[in-house]
A and B are shown apart, each in its own frame.
Chain A
Amino acid sequence: DQQVKQNSPSLSVQEGRISILNCDYTNSMFDYFLWYKKYPAEGPTFLISISSIKDKNEDGRFTVFLNKSAKHLSLHIVPSQPGDSAVYFCAAVSNFGNEKLTFGTGTRLTIIP
């Protein structure tokens, strides 16, 4: 039972354009969400997060949007750069003394020069 779903295994975007990665979740107890970025042969690295009390969080070129009613979040990267080519994982956690991050299956983003 996949509680965090990333339905697009891959995405290709032209350099300079906007990349939009999507994530859906089913567990209504999740109240904190994160995005991780992973390069080949490396571990995932934390990118950006959002609490359920917000609907948007921005950090430079990266913005995460949260739609609680739809149980959906998205990561926007603008403008996209070649170095953004990586696998992006969405993750969620329930903040009731529980540190377990539940991850999605990932989306491979390729930025085309």
Chain B
Amino acid sequence: DAGVIQSPRHEVTEMGQEVTLRCKPISGHNSLFWYRQTMMRGLELLIYFNNNVPIDDSGMPEDRFSAKMPNASFSTLKIQPSEPRDSAVYFCASKKRDSDYGYTFGSGTRLTVV
């Protein structure tokens, strides 16, 4: 089991550029979550999917953020245009729906917008 795989591990981009973060959940897990970690707010849930369908995107900061899950093995989080305040570590996590709440997190993508 390779775990939850995120790419890239690090991303440095200029303000105004489009950024795409990628996630491959664990096979058989049908819930997928995108979190953002900042010093001030800790881990914030941005959006989550069940069976590839977005269930709750109330944590998405604004229209510049969008997420897709075209199939059970892949999800993207896109920021367009990026701003310096988007700099954070973005985590993807997955779990089996109706299992316990032990989410499995990926190693994260550290995004720096300059």
Contact = CB atoms under 8 A, between A and B. Distances in A.
A18 interface: no
A11 interface: no
A14 interface: no
Contact of A99 (B35, B42, B48): B48
A89 B39 CA distance: 12
Interface centre among B31, B44, B97, B103 (most CB of A within 10 A): B103
A45 B101 contact: no
A20 B103 CA distance: 23
Contacts of B93: 43
Interface stretch (A55-63, A72-80, A102-110): A102-110
Contacts of B105: 43-45
Given A43-B91, A106-B42, A101 B101 contact: yes
Contacts, number: 62
30 contacts: A2-B41, A32-B101, A42-B107, A43-B4, A43-B91, A43-B93, A43-B104, A43-B105, A43-B106, A43-B107, A44-B43, A44-B105, A45-B105, A46-B101, A46-B102, A46-B103, A89-B42, A91-B101, A93-B101, A99-B55, A99-B95, A100-B56, A101-B33, A101-B101, A101-B103, A103-B35, A103-B42, A103-B44, A104-B42, A105-B40
